[in-house]
Chains A and B, each alone.
Chain A
Amino acid sequence: MFDIFDIYLLEALINGVLLGGVLALLALGLNLIFGVIDVVWICYAELIMLGMYGMFFLFKIYHFPFLLAAVICIAGVGVLGVVLHLLVIAPLLGAAPINQLLATGGVLFFLQSAATVMFGIDFRNLGIRLPVLEVHDMFISYARLLAFGAALAGMVVLYLFLSRTYTGTAIRAIAQDRQIMPLMGVDARRIYIITSAIGGALAGLAATLLVLQYDVHPFIGLTFGPTTFMICVLGGLGNMVGGFVASFVFAEIISVGGLYLDLEWGYVFAFGFFIAMMFAKPQGLLARRA
């Protein structure tokens, strides 16, 4: 009896870590954009939804090889990020911050229903069933393992880019001081566009990984969106390390809570934890009290 219980718990913990990797990737894109441009893309999860549809059409309908389709999707969502920035965010950069958030809320509505109109409300999937790894009676899906690995790789690449290249340094500098950096010869507009492209590409990467585990439908964004925002706030908006830690904490709560009750209650617990943490650490998990 006790053995069985333990194995299930361990399986839940491992799945939690794997889920955490993907959530961390989602949070990373949103945090990057918030940290640099100081806007919240409420429609971030809808970009992922479009990426997932892109994967579905390229792979399933037009029979592109998986990797090629993934590259096209990542680039495509990156371009979408730039378009979103130029059309919606750029005209509002001087407006009250809350207006930018609400405008992307409008984009959320728009993308969701555009997907409904274009693709219908059917659930679609790639039809790839990756094998399930069985270790000591624990079942761990390859799709999750792959997603975890790719998410970590994506984060390492981003870290190297931000810390080793000139553009990356400029991005971090802008995030620290928006007024001074343009005086130092950094073109803020260009940096914003690059950041939006990277943020979009991260959403695209997440899409190519999530499409292996979930069916696509126009409202799938509502599944990931709130969780992603909560993780970002929990970690401290714009704080990438905090977001990273928060993703794993969140994923473990969802996974272990889901083990004892339904998966939905796992989410409820995680959300409850979020509220509780707002009392204890309102500026984010890793914040130091000022």
Chain B
Amino acid sequence: MSRILPWVAGAALIALPFVYREPYPMHLLIVVLIWSSMYTSWSVMGRFGLVSLGHGGFMGIGAYTTALLWNNFGLTPWLGIPVAMLVVAIVALVIAWPCFRFRIIGHYFALVTLALSAIVLQVIIASRDITGGSLGYTPQRYNGGSSIFALQFTDKVTWYLIALGVWAMALFIRYRVERSMLRYALEAIAEDEDAAAAAGVHVTWEKLKITLISAAMTGFAGALYCQYQMFISPDTVSGISVSLQMVFAAVVGGIYVLLGPTVGAFITILLAEFLRIGFGTGAVGWDNIIYGSLLVLFIIFLPQGLVGTLQAKFVRAA
């Protein structure tokens, strides 16, 4: 039963737009799926106690690199996205290698990576001649609007299927990581680095591997976000707020379970939309007040997250 369930759910999700295709719910689903891939990418390393606040930076680099390559050199996102992922991976390497090499863990690691997202934000704003600064940046529309070459589609169903694919891929990568030797190594490292090293785990290299995977995935999702929204601004794709938003959604859903970050994305995005529609401009700020308090409450009372807690209950009862 549990072996077919993912396939059935997947088929249902693929079939959905052919049955029901109202633009607005479709749009919400696409956004939720893209952010879910981002949150899942974060949780790939976050679940091993490697709390990075630099993922806002990775997302920004992914989005801006792809858009800049397209606008300035006409490089198709099919090549631009891999280049962006490479850039993200290099940046991640430059930050993470010294961190891991010199045993910067816990608070320190969070703060160093936090600095990274602040730097990316600042560089984007400072180089406003190229990136448009705080005003944001728009990839040029390919004439006609839809084009496979430019990875631009006006049609929501296409985007839904792309986002679904990317999300499924992110889940698959996480699933594979959780069933690999890497997982045992990283769990040992999370418990005690010295003991893990003594047991023959190459601490630096194993941590670096998971960081590169997670960062490249985030860059990919960031580029995709840019292709879908066709507008990016430094505050929506980089900086501390974005990093914290990723951590928040992942924690609410539960970082130790596969679908936790996805549920987190659903809750946070739907909550924001609900407030926006229900209260209009009067709701500006209220969504983050609720997020903020929920984050604190979840960390104090439900550190396993919603899905994690429910699963623990369910498994115990069964």
Contact = CB atoms under 8 A, between A and B. Distances in A.
Interface of A: 34, 40, 42, 88, 91-92, 95-99, 101-103, 105-114, 116-117, 218, 222, 225-227, 229-230, 232-233, 237, 262, 264-265, 267-268, 271-272, 274-275, 278-279, 282-283
A92 B119 contact: no
Given A101-B110, A110-B296, A268-B123, A225 B94 contact: no
A274 B288 contact: no
A172 to B, nearest CB: 20
Report whether over half of chain A's contact residues are helix, strand or loop; otherwise say mixed: helix
B257 to A, nearest CB: 17
B102 interface: yes
Interface in B75-125: 94-95, 98-99, 102-104, 106-108, 110-112, 114-116, 118-119, 122-123, 125
B213 interface: no
A232 B110 CA distance: 13
A103 B123 CA distance: 28
A18 B49 CA distance: 39
B248 A105 contact: yes
B239 interface: yes
A96 B288 CA distance: 24
A110 B300 contact: no
Nearest to A265: B126
Contacts of A267: 122, 126
B251 interface: yes
Interface residues of B, number: 46
A218 B49 CA distance: 31
B119 A113 contact: no
B291 A264 contact: no
B122 A98 contact: no
B285 interface: yes
Nearest to A88: B296
A105 B99 CA distance: 22
Given A40-B111, A108-B292, A109-B291, A103 B122 contact: no
Given A108-B292, A110-B296, A101 B115 contact: no
A106 B107 contact: no
B115 A111 contact: no
A229 B98 contact: no
Contacts of A225: 240
B244 interface: yes
Contact of A98 (B51, B293, B300): B51
Given A107-B296, A233-B111, A282 B104 contact: yes
Given A103-B299, A278-B102, 11 more contacts: A95-B303, A97-B107, A99-B299, A103-B295, A106-B296, A109-B295, A111-B292, A229-B115, A233-B111, A282-B98, A282-B104
